[in-house]
């Protein structure tokens, strides 16, 4: 009706257009209460630029434990890939006790908001090295790993299938970059039917002897805070993807932000951080470091919404 009054037509239209610009969101899921953003307009601009470049320019890099896998379900903590080995099939009670004690000692250090990464580094090396030595002493058998994964309460985040399947359909490479255990991680995604050909894993892999008994770990040890060095060691992987300068990165630790340091010529990068634990203590540093922070969100809703937007051709 108002449009039919000629002198009011232009100003009202302009005001309506501005209002629409201010309030619209291309991705309504970003309005969820669990979503925190330091700079919402930068996030939206990046997502739009990534959409214009399309799926052929995109690569996704994700952490595994507590990022693709759930932190908790029905109020109970879910296991990390290391904790999946806490099973009578694989290790004895004395070893279980020692691994739990190590977790109780070092996990609080890993997530301590008052310590710097430099302060945490030696503790992380100690934690991983001690656990891996204990695992080697237990002579873990390769043929029992799948059963241990089946018996565990490990779960991928709600919506994981849409995430993995969409990336596969769009032929977008997914790098899972994990300081957990590669053999276990692969088994988790295999048992969930999402170990598609576009998935590449960089992680700590077990080295088995001829009879299938664990005797060592392969290559450079990866812990939470040396992902940058490890990314640089895997330069060949990133070189293969040099035609894909846009990166969507998912993590749950501040150390995960360095996973994309192997990408030589990044054009647009969007980082999403799951803040699962010690929320109040760590909120500020997460919001300052990740573009999008998801607070106690056990779903893949936000990554899926963003991915869906980026990989759908813009309306003409
Ligand atoms: P991620 O890089 O896939 O997140 O894996 C690393 C996580 O594994 C890190 O948050 C600490 C955790 N972890 C355990 O839960 N138990 C262990 O024994 C070790 C060494 C690490
Ligand atoms: Mg993690």
65 included as an active-site residue: yes
Q: What is the pTM of this model?
A: 0.92
pLDDT at 22: 46
Ligand 1 pocket check for 127: Cβ under 6 Å: yes
d(CA 108, CA 110): 5
How far is the CA of 61 from the CAs of 197, 227, 233, 247, 279, in angstroms? Answer: 15, 12, 16, 7, 24
The residue whose C-alpha atom lies closest to atom 16 belonging to ligand 1 is: 82
Looking at the CA of 177, name the nearest ligand.
1
Q: What is the whole-number distance in angstroms between the Cα of residue 211 and the centre of ligand 2?
A: 32
56 included as an active-site residue: no
Q: Which atom of ligand 1 is nearest to the CA of 179?
A: 2
The span from the first CA to the last CA of the chain, in angstroms, equals 28
SS3 300: coil
Q: What is the whole-number distance in angstroms between the Cα of residue 19 and the centre of ligand 2?
A: 40
**Top mutation candidate among 67, 78, 80 for ligand 1, by most atoms within 8 Å of CB:** 80
Q: Which of 234, 210, 209, 237 is nearest to 220 (CA)?
A: 234
Interaxial angle between packed helices 40-53 and 301-310, expressed in degrees from 0 to 180 and rounded to the nearest 10 = 50
pLDDT at 25: 67
Question: Which of 39, 56, 63, 277 is an active site residue?
Answer: 63
Looking at the CA of 81, name the nearest ligand.
1
Residues with CB in 5 Å of ion ligand 2: 63, 65-67, 252
Looking at the CA of 203, name the nearest ligand.
1
What's the chain's Rg over C-alpha atoms? 22
pLDDT at 200: 98
Q: What is the whole-number distance in angstroms between the Cα of residue 81 and the centre of ligand 1?
A: 7
Dmax (CA) of the chain: 87
Q: Which of 205, 260, 262 is nearest to 233 (CA)?
A: 262
Ligand 1 pocket check for 186: Cβ under 6 Å: no
Please list the residues that pair with 69 across neighbouring strands: 156
Ligand 1 pocket check for 83: Cβ under 6 Å: yes
Which contacts (CB < 8 Å, 24+ apart) does range 290-294 have? 290/251, 290/257, 291/37, 291/38, 291/39, 291/42, 291/43, 291/46, 292/30, 292/35, 292/36, 292/37, 292/43, 293/35, 293/36, 293/37, 294/34, 294/35, 294/36
Ligand 1 pocket check for 276: Cβ under 6 Å: no
CA 105 remoteness from chain centre: 24
pLDDT at 316: 72
d(CA 5, CA 190): 64
SS3 174: strand
d(CA 138, CA 140): 5
Q: Which atom of ligand 1 is nearest to the CA of 67?
A: 4
Looking at the CA of 67, name the nearest ligand.
2
Q: What 8-state DSSP symbol labels residue 193? A: T
Q: Which atom of ligand 1 is nearest to the CA of 66?
A: 4
Q: Which residues of the chain have pLDDT under 70?
A: 1-25
d(CA 9, CA 13): 6
> Do residues 85 and 91 make contact, with C-beta atoms less than 8 angstroms apart?
yes
Helical ranges in 192-314 per DSSP H: 227-233, 235-240, 279-289, 301-310
Ligand 1 pocket check for 103: Cβ under 6 Å: yes
d(CA 52, CA 59): 15
């Amino acid at each position: 009706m108002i449009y039919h009054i000629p002198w009011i037509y232009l100003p009202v239209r302009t005001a309506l257009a501005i209002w629409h610009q201010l309030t619209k969101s291309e991705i309504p899921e970003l309005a969820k209460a669990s979503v925190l953003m330091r700079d919402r307009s930068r996030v939206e601009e990046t997502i739009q630029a990534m959409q214009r470049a399309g799926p052929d320019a995109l690569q996704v890099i994700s952490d595994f434990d507590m990022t693709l896998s759930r932190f908790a379900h029905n109020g109970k903590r879910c296991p990390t890939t290391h904790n999946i080995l806490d099973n009578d099939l694989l290790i004895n009670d004395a070893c279980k006790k020692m691994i739990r004690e190590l977790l109780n000692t070092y996990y609080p250090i890993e997530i301590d908001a008052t310590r710097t990464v430099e302060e945490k580094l030696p503790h992380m090396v100690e934690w991983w090295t001690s656990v891996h030595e204990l695992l080697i002493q237990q002579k873990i058998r390769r043929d029992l790993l799948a059963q241990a994964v089946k018996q565990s309460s490990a779960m991928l985040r709600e919506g994981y299938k849409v995430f993995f399947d969409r990336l596969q359909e769009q032929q977008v490479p997914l790098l899972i970059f994990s300081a957990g255990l590669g053999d276990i991680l692969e088994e988790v995604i295999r048992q969930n039917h999402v170990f598609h050909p576009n998935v590449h894993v960089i992680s700590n892999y077990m080295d088995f002897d001829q009879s299938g008994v664990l005797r060592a770990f392969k290559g450079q040890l990866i812990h939470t805070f040396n992902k940058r060095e490890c990314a640089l060691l895997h330069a060949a992987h990133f070189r293969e993807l040099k035609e894909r300068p846009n990166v969507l990165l998912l993590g749950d630790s501040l150390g995960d932000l360095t996973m994309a340091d192997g990408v030589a010529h990044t054009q647009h990068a969007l980082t999403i951080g799951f803040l699962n634990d010690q929320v109040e203590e760590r909120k500020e540093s997460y919001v300052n470091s990740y573009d999008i922070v998801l607070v106690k969100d056990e779903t893949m809703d936000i990554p899926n919404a963003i991915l869906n937007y980026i990989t759908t051709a813009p309306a003409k």
